[in-house]
Amino acid sequence: MKKKVLALIMAGAMTAGMLTACGGSATSDAGAAPEAAAEATEEAAAEEAAPAEAAEEETTDLGGISDDPNTLTVAAWDANFNIPALEAAAAAYKTKNPDFKLEINTVSGSSDVENAVTNAAQAGDYSTLPDIVLFQDHWIQQYVSNYPDAWKDLSGANIDWSDFGAEKLSYSTIDGVHYGAPVDNGTAIFAYRTDILEECGYTIDDVTGITWDRWLEIGRDVKEKTGKYLLSMDHSGDDLPYMFMQAEGLSQWKNGDPDIAGNETYQKILQVIVDGANDGVILLCNSWSEYTDESIVGDQVAGVMNGNWIIPTIKQVAENSGKWELTTIPTLSGKEGYASNGGSSLYITANCQNFDLAQDFLAYTFGGGEGAIETYDNALKNGGVITCCISAGKSSVYQEPDSYFNGQPIYADIVAMGANVPVVEQNDFHYNLRTAVGTAITNATTAGGGSDLAAEIQAAQDDIVRQMNL
């Protein structure tokens, strides 16, 4: 019990600092990615937004449910990302049920939803919750475990679960039960400035399906010839170790415990980051704004790797249109790597009185039903939300070439890549480990003192073990 209580306290304290972007808070560094997306899509959203039965005013009150049998209520955050996706789904479902209304309560961040569920569960009264809530992938298993009575089982919905990547479903499927309908695709991309690669004698093929050792060689060459880094990351919330390990098909956890000390693969992965930082190949930024505004928008890098929600940030530099292409992630062996970072799903709460309607709405839209293509086409155009539903990613909208990415049909490619992301073990202490490992990387770099990497990894593991046993 002490672990669960501690985890909940940490959840509330750390949510504002999470780099989950698609599924992140609208505050602190986690809000920067949605804000970047907002800047890139605000004009398009204003011109093309689907009809909405939505409440526009932000509120921390999740609103409860409606007395109208044709109305569902939902709580979500980010008026320029998740909300347009919900509006698109509502418009699509009206084709089936013209009397349908979706009342959207726009909260300031994911922590509002998490806190509301916690408060309702602790009070033993779920009547304050809406029919549906948007919930972050990395947190939902903890909340289902701690508050199993807060959620409805979605397993009986008319959803073809095989139409989703196994990794995405692994978050919302708990003990074989489907609790959520996936929404936004967090598949990681590795985007490169092909003009800079060409200047140095390389093409996109030369950075596809290569080893990290070869990637570091290319990075050193690019740095020497152009002065640009081949990759950057917000080191105050460094997700590189997680994504690099997932691309190997491995987790930082094993049977509920941290599995980093004495892990040869993990040490090799961190050594890539340390060597890259020491050699001027990887820029470890001190903050989210330094990462986005200075390294990416400020044109310091020739490569960007993160969840695909980083694309609107890349596109802020208009003069670089046509100079980018994206591909997969290098690995230690040289096979093409796939990973994910960020994302959320929709969950029906215990307070939902019209379960059949809620279940059918999710199945028809985000669940891959007849309204999925309309839902996800408009969600992409109006808010930049990329489908998790593989079949919806085959629409003509997804096949369209993206001029900014040199005519590459990036959205279809991202959906295809997402189907290959391996399932790896998750843990409630994911963000605690990220912080501890970030410190280890800092200390092991030349700038941080160049301490022994293996010793730093051991210290990070010891730190997490202590936290988990408090």
pLDDT of residue 139: 85
| Cα-Cα end-to-end distance for the chain | 10
- How many helices (H) and strands (E) are present in the chain, helices listed first? 18, 14
CA angle 418, 109, 189 (to 5 degrees): 20
177-178 vs 257-258, strand pairing mode? unpaired
- Name the strands in the sheet holding 71-77, side by side, starting at the edge strand that comes first in the sequence: 101-107, 71-77, 132-136, 344-348, 180-182
Q: How would you class 469 by CB atoms within 10 Å of its CB: exposed for 0-12, middle for 13-18, buried for 19 or more?
A: exposed
Q: Is 226 exposed, middle or buried (0-12, 13-18, 19+ CB in 10 A)?
A: middle
**Range list of β-strands (E), 341-398:** 344-348
CATH architecture group of domain 188-338+424-460: 3-Layer(aba) Sandwich (3.40)
Instruction: Name the token pair of 368.
Output: 């891959």
Q: CA of 188: how far to CAs of 21, 235, 327, 344, in Å?
A: 12, 17, 10, 15
106, 88 contact by CB (below 8 A): no
- CA-based angle 376:293:443, to the nearest 5? 110
What CATH architecture does domain 2-186+342-394 belong to? 3-Layer(aba) Sandwich (3.40)
On whether the CB atoms of residues 239 and 434 are closer than 8 A, the answer is yes
Alpha-carbon gap, residue 291 to 300, rounded angstroms: 10
Tokens matching residue 232: 């950057």
Gap between the Cα atoms of 81 and 382, Å rounded = 8
Topology match between the domains 2-186+342-394 and 188-338+424-460: yes
User: Residue 30's pLDDT is what?
Assistant: 32
Distance (Å, rounded) from C-alpha 439 to C-alpha 260? 14
The pLDDT of residue 60 is: 55
Q: Return the domain boundaries, the chain.
A: 2-186+342-394, 188-338+424-460
Q: Which pLDDT score, from 0 to 100, does residue 55 have?
A: 34
Mean of the per-residue pLDDT values of the chain: 88
Query: Cα angle vertex 39, ends 33, 44, to 5°?
Result: 120
Low-confidence ranges of the chain (pLDDT < 70): 1-60
Residue 459: other Cβ atoms inside 10 A: 17
Q: Name which of 135, 129, 149 is nearest 65 in CA terms.
A: 129
- Contact status, residue 75 vs residue 87, Cβ threshold 8 Å: no
pTM: predicted TM-score of the whole model, two decimal places: 0.82
